[in-house]
Amino acid sequence: MESHFRSILKAVTWRAGGTFVTMAVAWLVVGQVGIAAKIGIVDTIFKIGVFYIHERVWNRVNFGKQKPPEYQI
């Protein structure tokens, strides 16, 4: 079982890696570091928002959820 801190650190490093990849691809396409950095930052902010919406929608979907027992001892 992982600690919350480990999960948060993994999420942050994963997003940082994704931002770096986006910036590198943008730099290769546009040839300007400044524009590539802006694309990377905007992409990161946008993806965080989309992920949040995705999570909230899935919280409303009952598919795959197990019903809690009618009673507990």
Banded pLDDT at 15 (limits 50, 70, 90):
very high
Q: Could you tell me if 23 and 38 are in contact, meaning their C-beta atoms sit under 8 angstroms apart?
A: no
**Residue appearing with tokens 């691809």:** 25
Helices and strands, number each (H, E), in the chain = 2, 0
Q: Is residue 44 part of a domain?
A: yes
Asked if residue 20 has pLDDT above 80, the reply is yes
Give pLDDT tens digits for 21-73.
999 999 999 999 999 999 999 999 999 999 999 989 988 998 888 888 888 77
Query: Which domain covers residue 45, as residue numbers?
Result: 4-60
Q: For the chain, what is the domain count?
A: 1
H-helix segments, the chain: 4-30, 33-60
- pLDDT at residue 71 in the model: 85
**Residue appearing with tokens 């801190």:** 5
Write the CB contacts of 15 (distance below 8 Å, at least 6 apart in sequence): 44, 47, 48
Asked if residue 7 has pLDDT above 80, the reply is yes
Q: Is residue 72 part of a domain?
A: no
Q: Is residue 15 part of a domain?
A: yes
